[in-house]
Chain A
Amino acid sequence: MDTATQRKWDAASRSFDFISFGDDHRLGPHKRRLFAKMHGAILMVAAGTGNDFRFFPTGQSILAIDISPRMLERAEKKAAQYQGKIELRQMDVCQLQLPDSSFDSVVTVCTFCSVPEPVVGLRELYRVLKPGGHILMFEHVRSRIGPLGIFLDLMTPLSRRVGPDLNRDTVGNVQKAGFRIRREENVYLDIVKSIEGVKDQ
């Protein structure tokens, strides 16, 4: 278990709902549209305080993991309100204690901006997905627009201290982990994206 990352997100859990209030309301419809594609056995990575549970289609059975026990404590109430089943478990995405080929869908929300070794984590998700399964990601990435990309590079040493990196090439990392990109959609500029990757049969 990566204890440094765990401590960082334990600390962030106190203000997480306040900081993400605007994003949750503004980006909710985009998340709901993406998550409508989830089916079968579902793994949610980095559940956080459970703010995204309300955007899941009802009636699903979901295993939601997070590295931070403080985040999971805050997620308990929201998991109980979900009209379906959400099991919460503390786990590091880079060391998943889950069998191979056991999920049909994997969901991530602003996760791989924060995982210290993103390709390792994505390879773990590739391992636990069934062949033909898909990964649904709502992530922010480095902009390819000149000044914005430089700005995100400059801000990352600051943002990394309390939260995520702002300059990750998550689409490239998904491909490096073995997924085929089925759909990539810009939600805000070319920074906030929904990404759908497939583990081919």
Chain B
Amino acid sequence: MLFVIGDYLAGMMVGALTAIGVRAVIWPGMDMVVAMIVGMAIGMAIHLVFGLIFAPLIGMFNAMIPASLIGMYGGMFFGMRDSMAAGSRTLGAAIAVGVVFGAIVVAGVEYYDRTLRGAVVDSGY
């Protein structure tokens, strides 16, 4: 149970930090494609640093896999949003969206993990 809580906390933190990082670099009016690429790069860098920080606590893959998806896709989405100045007008609102996005990705990965878990091959002898 503690590990699951840790998974969500790590995911929400990576989501929040990605939102902050993207907001700091992307300005309204920036070319959206460039903003998405830059956002993705920021998200990937943040995931790498913070994924490694969380890995000793919750496990390498349990930390890195959700964090990679949050960083990669979150960075693109937040970059797109911030280049359009669409929604999340304050930094607090952007962070809240990052936290929610992180939690949703972790929930999705946990659900997918449950569907995949178990025997793939079992010849029995």
Binding site for B on A (CB under 8 A): 18-23, 25-27, 140, 147-148, 151, 155, 180-193
Instruction: Contact check, A151 vs B72: say whether CB atoms are below 8 A apart.
Output: yes
Q: DSSP class of A's interface residues: helix, strand, loop or mixed?
A: mixed
Instruction: Contact check, B59 vs A26: say whether CB atoms are below 8 A apart.
Output: yes
Smallest CB gap from A195: residue in B: B121
Instruction: Contact check, A188 vs B61: say whether CB atoms are below 8 A apart.
Output: yes
- B123 / chain A contacts, CB cutoff of 8 Å: 180-183
Pick the contact of B65: A19, A25, A189, A193 (CB < 8 A).
Answer: A189
Smallest CB gap from A143: residue in B: B65
Instruction: Contact check, B58 vs A22: say whether CB atoms are below 8 A apart.
Output: yes
Q: DSSP class of B's interface residues: helix, strand, loop or mixed?
A: helix
With A19-B55, A21-B56, A26-B3 known as contacts, the answer to whether A140 contacts B120 (CB < 8 A) is no
Q: How many A-B contacts are there with CB distance less than 8 Å?
A: 77
Residue interface bits B102-114, CB-to-A below 8 A is 1, else 0: 0000000100110
- B3 / chain A contacts, CB cutoff of 8 Å: 22, 25-26
- A180 / chain B contacts, CB cutoff of 8 Å: 123
Interchain nearest-CB distance for B36 vs A (Å): 15
Binding site for A on B (CB under 8 A): 3, 55-65, 68-69, 72, 109, 112-113, 116-125
List, sorted by A's number, 9 A–B pairs whose CB atoms are closer than 8 Å.
Answer: A22-B55, A181-B121, A181-B123, A183-B123, A185-B118, A186-B117, A188-B59, A189-B109, A191-B61
Complexed CA–CA distance, A184 and B121 (Å): 5
